[in-house]
Amino acid sequence: MKVSLDIMNFVEQQILPRYNAFGSSHGLAHVQRVIKNSLELADLLGADADMVYVIAAYHDLGMEGPRAIHHITGGKILASDARLKKWFSAEQIKIMKEAVEDHRASSSRMPRSIYGKIVAEADRDLDPEVVFTRAIEFGLEHYPNLDKEQQWQRFNEHMEEKYSARGYIHLWINGSPNEKKLKEVRDVIADKQRLRQTFDRIYSTLGNDSAEQSKR
Residue 209 has pLDDT above 70, yes or no: no
Residue 96 has pLDDT above 50, yes or no: yes
pTM over 0.95: no
Do 117 and 111 form a contact (C-beta atoms < 8 A)? yes
Interhelix angle for 208-215 vs 148-162, to 10°?
140
| pLDDT (average), residues 191-195 | 98
Q: How far apart are CA 129 and CA 125, in angstroms?
A: 10
CB atoms within 10 A of CB 192: 11
The model's pLDDT over 3-40, given as tens digits with 9 standing for 90+, comes to 999 999 999 999 999 999 987 778 999 999 999 999 99
Instruction: Give me the mean pLDDT over the 50-61 stretch.
Output: 98
Exposure of 42 by Cβ count < 10 A (0-12 exposed, 13-18 middle, 19+ buried)? buried
Q: Specify the DSSP class assigned to residue 22.
A: S
- The count of C-alpha atoms lying within 13 angstroms of the C-alpha of 126, restricted to the half-sphere facing its C-beta, is 25
Q: What pLDDT score was predicted for residue 210?
A: 45
Q: What is the pLDDT of residue 1?
A: 67
The Cα–Cα gap between 139 and 151 comes to 7
pLDDT at 73 over 90: yes
The mean pLDDT of the chain is 92
Under 8 Å between Cβ of 71 and 100: yes
Mean per-residue pLDDT, 71-97: 98
What was the pLDDT predicted at 23? Answer: 79
CATH number for 5-123 (one of 1.10.3210.10, 2.40.40.20, 3.40.47.10, 1.10.357.10): it is: 1.10.3210.10
Please check the confidence at residue 164 and state whether its pLDDT lies above 60.
yes
Residue-range domain boundaries for the chain = 5-123, 128-215
How far is Cα 51 from Cα 1, in angstroms, rounded to an integer?
Answer: 12
pLDDT reported for residue 208: 66
pLDDT of residue 105 exceeding 90: no
pLDDT above 90 coverage of the chain, percent: 79
Q: What is the pLDDT of residue 124?
A: 83
> Residue 161 carries which side chain, given as an amino acid letter?
E
Q: Which residues of 96-113 are buried (b: 16+ CB within 10 A; e: fewer)?
A: bbbbbbbbbeeeeeebeb
